[in-house]
Amino acid sequence: MRVYLRTAVFLLVECCLLPCLSWAQEPMRLSLQEAIQQALTHNPQALAATARVAKARATLSGVTSFDDPMLSLVHHEGRNTGGLDEDVLLTQTIPLGDKRRQAIHVARSELEAALADQAAVRRDLIYNVTTAYYQALRADADSNIAAEGLQLAQEFLKTAQTQFQAGDVAHSNVIRSQIALASAQQTLSVAQTEKANAYAALANVIGLPANTPLLLTDKLVAPAPIQARLADLETMALQNRPEIRSAQALLQARLAALHGARIETQPDLFVEFRHNPLGGPDPEGDSVRVGVTFPLVDWGKNRADRQSALAAYNEQAALLADEERGVRLEVETAYRNLQEAFTVLASFQTGRLQRAQELLDMERTGYANRAVSYLELLDAQQTYLTEEENFAHALADCNLAVAALQHAVGGDIR
């Protein structure tokens, strides 16, 4: 009875677990847009950028409020003891002049910079996901072509062995086929490793475990040509790039901080309530005072603060100029790379791959009729596989070049 019970429990567990294990191995179908949305939702960099924006908003909310009132509760000391006979002291300080407005300006500019940085993270994520997705598609193509090459090498070896046994070809054809087969096996192994790495990189950038099985639903197709002048793209980049907007906002924040440092010696208003418990029922025991406070002597701190704020402003101005210079270079580089990628792709669109296929068909016919040598047939086969691989790379590289230019410009350029 105990054996039957254990058997029943085992069968029950097996029936429950096997469907779950089968379901867990199902690959996740993923288009490029789904991968981008997945990254924007789960990537740690996107979450960190959102947290930085929340921090900047909280900082702005804090500087728009007045300083908290200060309440002092002490035990009085005697009577008429020079301010020591009050047990409650409530003080509210109100900054005068432009201090509060400049502080708000600093916080608001830093919030604008945080929002621009968040947009930059989003832009970088879209580019990184797009790059990883097309690299995975290219690795897919390489793996499929390598598998095709392995299958052909196996067929060549089988044919060569059959012909050698029939006495139609020399033993060198068999040896040559064995070498080609070993090379094809190595090529497939490398392609499969690169495919696994590309898929792991894609899973990682979208915030999934690296071993998550994926099934890419998009295909490698030729992108639409980009019709835009380089000068227009550079202008668009300087207007759209979030890094430029962030650097400009930080420059405004540094300018406001510099103004704030320069007016730090302006007086502040204070309102103060004092309660004297020794005054008895006489209301004159309590008092309210209004006055101003201002620094009497600068021992060097305010001067150092001004110098520091000025240096920070000059630093940010230089960083902004450097950012603009870098953006122009990035756009120019991406533009040239895109032109080259479309040139390479055009060579295939004019029949380059078809000619390689025609050559292979001719060599196969010639070899069957003993008009072409075995090495010539192998060379034609390798030429076709290489051209097939180059075509897949040209498609992937063209899509990657479009993504790089859009990343450099900071927006859709279609």
Q: What is the pLDDT of residues 314-354, one digit of tens each?
A: 999 999 999 999 999 999 999 999 999 999 999 988 888 89
pLDDT at 5: 40
pLDDT at 82: 52
Q: Return the ∠ at Cα 280 (arms to 279 and 285), rounded to 5°.
A: 30
Question: Of 346, 50, 39, which Cα lies nearest the Cα of 223?
Answer: 346
Tell whether the model's pLDDT for residue 65 goes beyond 90. no
CA distances from 8 to 4, 16, 119, 214 (A): 6, 12, 58, 36
Question: pLDDT band for position 11 (50/70/90)?
Answer: very low
pLDDT at 283: 53
CA distances from 136 to 32, 131, 144, 392 (A): 11, 9, 12, 12
pLDDT at 242: 93
Instruction: Sketch the domain layout of the chain as residue ranges.
Output: 38-409
Residue with tokens 């060198």: 172
Tell whether the model's pLDDT for residue 274 goes beyond 80. no
Name the residue with higher pLDDT: 85 or 331: 331
Q: How many residues are present in the chain?
A: 414
> Model-level pTM greater than 0.85?
no
Given a contact cutoff of 8 angstroms between Cβ atoms, the answer to whether 247 and 295 are in contact is no
Rounded to whole angstroms, the Cα distance separating 320 from 302 reads 27
Sign of the CA dihedral 341, 347, 348, 353?
negative
Return the top range by mean pLDDT from 2-6, 52-56, 89-93: 52-56
Tell whether the model's pLDDT for residue 76 goes beyond 70. no
Tell whether the model's pLDDT for residue 26 goes beyond 60. yes
Q: How does pLDDT run across 183-238, given as a tens digit for each residue?
A: 999 999 999 999 999 999 999 998 888 888 999 999 999 998 888 899 999 999 99
pLDDT at 295: 79
Q: Evaluate whether the domain defined by 38-409 bears CATH number 3.40.109.10.
A: no
Question: Of 368, 360, 375, which Cα lies nearest the Cα of 175?
Answer: 375
Return the top range by mean pLDDT from 64-73, 179-188, 267-276: 179-188
Phi, psi dihedral angles at 114 (to 5 degrees)? -65, -40
Q: How many C-beta neighbours within 10 Å does residue 172 have?
A: 12
